[in-house]
Amino acid sequence: MIKKKKTRKTNKYPVCSKCKQILGSQGSVEVICGPMFSGKSSLLISRAREAFYAKQKVVAFTQKKDDRRGDDSINTFNKDQFIAVSVSNSKQILKNIPEGTSLVIIDEGNFFNMDLADVVNKIAEKGIRVIVAGLDRNFRGEGFGPMPRIKLEADKVTQLLARCAICGNEASRTQRLKIVKGKKIPARYSDPIVLVGEEEYEPRCRFHHEVPGKPKIKIKQKK
């Protein structure tokens, strides 16, 4: 009788010698940011579908505050959709991640509370890949919510640009236009970040971005 040699079971995928995790599955944070109409949500959905087709478990989240294009889904201006869980704050994300999840995607990160940065890092530390999409600047051209910190601490940043609605050059800013008596006027610096009322948004380049009342940059020169 011929005895069969015992073979050691080897992992199908290479394992990191330091973290002991399968290479390609370790936690990481990616940020997709840019002005409105730069394709952030479209790219986020594309990333999610890539993982889904690779038979990875994907869970998506969006902010309840942003209901412009429907609830419980990530939506694009081109009417593309990806099913998502609507949450009111970032800590609810941790409670809604199923076991075995490989990828967590979060849309409109700018609308979440500041705790989102800690939540994202905590998810990544569990070995889960995280992708956050959102506006990195508000209508004033300043950092928007938790996005600047998440962007700073991310492993990868994909910075998108749109096209300026005035000149057609690359646009990195979002112009808010208030509609007053049928006329479109630029929102003032003193206006609230989240505006309730009639307004429109369009991408603008640095030179055509208008924010009346914004403090001017002053550089003190040494004597």
Task: Say if residue 132 is in the same domain as residue 205.
Answer: no
- Annotated catalytic residue within 99, 108, 125, 198: 108
> Predicted confidence band at 76 (pLDDT cuts at 50, 70, 90)?
confident
Residue-level pLDDT at 62: 92
pLDDT at 23 over 70: no
Tokens (6 digits) for 54: 């690779």
Q: What are the b/e assignments for 34-50, b being 16+ CB within 10 Å?
A: bbbbbbbbbbbbebbee
User: What pLDDT band is residue 12 in, cutting at 50, 70 and 90?
Assistant: very low
Average pLDDT on 97-115 reads 94
Residues 151 and 178 in one domain: no
Predicted local confidence at residue 195, as pLDDT: 60
- Residue 1 in any domain: the answer is no
Show which of 160, 192, 207 is a domain's final residue. Answer: 160
Section 51-66 average pLDDT:
88
Asked if residue 114 and residue 70 are part of one domain, the reply reads: yes
- Tell me, yes or no, if 108 is annotated catalytic: yes
- 81 falls in which pLDDT band (50, 70, 90)? confident
Q: What percent of the chain has pLDDT over 90?
A: 69
Host domain of residue 52: 28-160
145 and 167 share one domain: no
Q: Same structural domain for residues 104 and 149?
A: yes
Q: How many residues does the chain have?
A: 223
If asked whether residues 99 and 206 sit together in one domain, one would say no
Residue 156 shares a structural domain with residue 172: no
Q: Given the DSSP bridges, would you call strands 183-186 and 173-180 parallel, antiparallel or unpaired?
A: antiparallel
Tell me, what's the pLDDT at 197?
Answer: 56
CATH at 49: 3.40.50.300
Residues 114 and 191 in one domain: no
How many domains are there within the chain?
2
The mean predicted confidence, pLDDT, of the chain is 87
Q: Are residues 199 and 136 in the same domain?
A: no
pLDDT digits (tens, 9 = 90+) for 138-192: 999 999 999 999 999 999 999 999 999 999 999 999 999 998 888 999 999 999 8
Instruction: For residue 90, give both structure tokens.
Output: 């970032």
For residue 26, is pLDDT > 80?
Answer: no
Q: What angle do CA 143, 133, 166 make, to 5 degrees?
A: 65
Average pLDDT over residues 115-137: 96
pTM over 0.75? The answer is yes
State the Cα–Cα distance between residues 84 and 76, nearest whole angstrom: 13
Task: Give a yes or no: residue 21 inside a domain.
Answer: no
User: Which position has the higher pLDDT, 151 or 22?
Assistant: 151
169 and 106 in a common domain = no
Residue 16, in any domain of the structure: no
Instruction: Convert the pLDDT of each residue in 200-222 to its tens digit.
Output: 999 999 999 999 999 988 888 77
Q: Torsion angle, CA of 117/192/40/110, rounded to 10 degrees?
A: 10
